[in-house]
Amino acid sequence: MKKLHQYMMILVAGVLGACGSMSVSDPYAEALPADFNAQEYLSLHPQLRVRQIKDFVADYNSQVKANLGKEYDAVKKADDEAFLANTDMLGAIYMHPQIGGHTSDEWAGILADFALPDTSKGYKITRSMMAEYNFVGVADDASLLLSVPMDYQAVAQQYHVFGRDHGWAYRACRAEEAANTPRDTLPIATYQKNHIAEKDGSFIPDTGYYCRDALGVDRLIQ
């Protein structure tokens, strides 16, 4: 998970710029599959959008901190408390398909953590996670979260530097691919899962291309 986060941090680059589509001059374009579409790839991996949103919030808050100076910590603490107290808004953010992208069952788990003693690890971790959606000094966080620009070029770059090597599906399977070999039955999948490839400090990338079927199974594109 740590490695995934590190590679996904490439989404920070250009997050303040609204990139509606991948430019033809994108240096990564030639290295991508001919039928790669950043929007379709993002639909298969909504966690990339979540990371992009949280990075945008962090960047915004860092600018607020630079402006407020020593007052920032106190302002942020009060603002976080007000934000986290509004569970109806938190639920709307957490389950919104364009923001948090989580299910109602997952939201129930968050509420359960909120009900724990405030000294518990689960309570602290959950509050910290939800606070990553909070714009300090903004009253209507939900609306601003929805306005965060989508950087499709950064999404394409993520596939180039991380997703491809780790066997991430980049598009939906076509009808004729429905019976293709599942990735999790391939040696490379077991190899990477068991970290066999990294015992000597090296990494063996997955050189295949994968699609995802209607049941969520990633299959080798042949």
User: What kind and span of H or E run contains 211?
Assistant: strand 210-212
Q: How many CB atoms lie within 10 A of CB 111?
A: 13
Total-model pTM: 0.77
pLDDT tens-digit series, residues 105-156: 999 999 999 999 999 999 999 999 999 999 999 989 999 999 998 899 999 9
**What 8-state DSSP symbol labels residue 161?**
I
Quick one: which of 213, 180, 161 has its CA closest to 32? 161
Cα of first residue to Cα of last residue in the chain, in angstroms, is 29
Average pLDDT, the chain: 86
pLDDT tens-digit series, residues 95-105: 998 899 899 99
Mean pLDDT, residues 57-83 taken together: 95
Burial of 127 (0-12, 13-18, 19+ CB in 10 A): middle
Beta strand 171-172 with 210-212 is parallel
pLDDT for residue 197 is more than 70: no
Tokens of 199: 């015992």
The secondary structure of 44-76, three-state, reads HCCHHHHHHHHHHHHHHHHHHHHHHHHHHHHHH
